[in-house]
Chain A
């Protein structure tokens, strides 16, 4: 029986939303786990949800990155357990070194909340195995520090290892400036580690998992959690 942990830090906001999708819609055993809990590694999957951990003070995700929880999560990642970081969760994974690169302030210098499209480039990660390659998922973003950046060397590595999992595209699937909501390098919306079991993305799949909540009447986001569940089952 699969057990998923949704890690809560002081300031985490999207934990209950994520819990609702996994528990009530997918009917998978899942719990909210406070970050100082010693039993995080007893779970099969760890999800770091969105929010403003520690108020985003100093830099989004940096303070939470120093929590002892991240040491445990690093071990879990090394053992191959799936780890997902959504929005602030992605920021925390990047700040703690589980994922490469950096998430900077949006080019527009403003917080932006709107629905965008992402193309799935890699369907071999723990969280995209249920997706078709090059398929387009519609999800909302809501962030101020979502501009992905990495140096040239790092970018080459990401490309070589197929670590760029999601890119911002327009409705036709074209990657261009207009479809980039925050100035991210190469429209990068989400990446994985080399092994593919740690994934981080800025868009919110838990907010696009029910048709009634989508302006497009879609539930694309649910595929992301469904992937890991099916992965572990089968």
Chain B
């Protein structure tokens, strides 16, 4: 964990919960991979990725700030999606 005050890059991955149908993932799997004989792949799910550059005291703080933002502003819809927050080095 970095303890320096500075600018951190925080990656937010917004993926739909497993119970939600993911037509885009299905089409890529079925129409692109399967049709080109890549049978080893059994599932594809799509997600949205946002990269935040944030000033914080340390890396944990940076993640905390971004989590707050995502929750407060409903950057992800908790009914539908999970929100995974990681620092650039970790991901």
Q: Which residues of A contact B (CB under 8 A)?
A: 58-59, 62, 65-66, 95, 101-102, 104-105, 107-109, 149-151, 154, 183
Contact = CB atoms under 8 A, between A and B. Distances in A.
Given A104-B20, A107-B21, A149-B20, A65 B74 contact: yes
B77 interface: yes
A183 B23 CA distance: 10
Is chain A's interface secondary structure helix, strand, loop, or mixed overall?
loop
Given A66-B73, A105-B23, A151-B79, 13 more contacts: A62-B75, A62-B77, A95-B74, A95-B77, A101-B79, A105-B24, A109-B27, A149-B79, A149-B80, A150-B79, A151-B19, A183-B21, A183-B23
Is chain B's interface secondary structure helix, strand, loop, or mixed overall?
loop
Contact of A102 (B24, B27, B79): B79
A65 B80 CA distance: 17
Contacts of B77: 59, 62, 95, 102
A187 to B, nearest CB: 15
Contacts of B16: 104
A148 to B, nearest CB: 11
Contacts of B73: 66
Contacts of B79: 101-102, 149-151, 154
A59 B24 CA distance: 16
Contacts of B19: 151
The 3 closest A-B pairs by CB, nearest first: A107-B23, A102-B80, A102-B79
A212 B19 CA distance: 44
Interface in B69-86: 73-75, 77, 79-80
A104 B74 contact: no
Contacts of A58: 75
Contact of A109 (B24, B74, B80): B24
A102 B80 CA distance: 7
Contacts of B74: 62, 65-66, 95
A74 B81 CA distance: 25
Nearest to B79: A102
A101 B77 CA distance: 10
A150 to B, nearest CB: 7
A58 B75 CA distance: 8
Nearest to A65: B74
A7 B48 CA distance: 30
B16 to A, nearest CB: 8
A105 B16 CA distance: 12
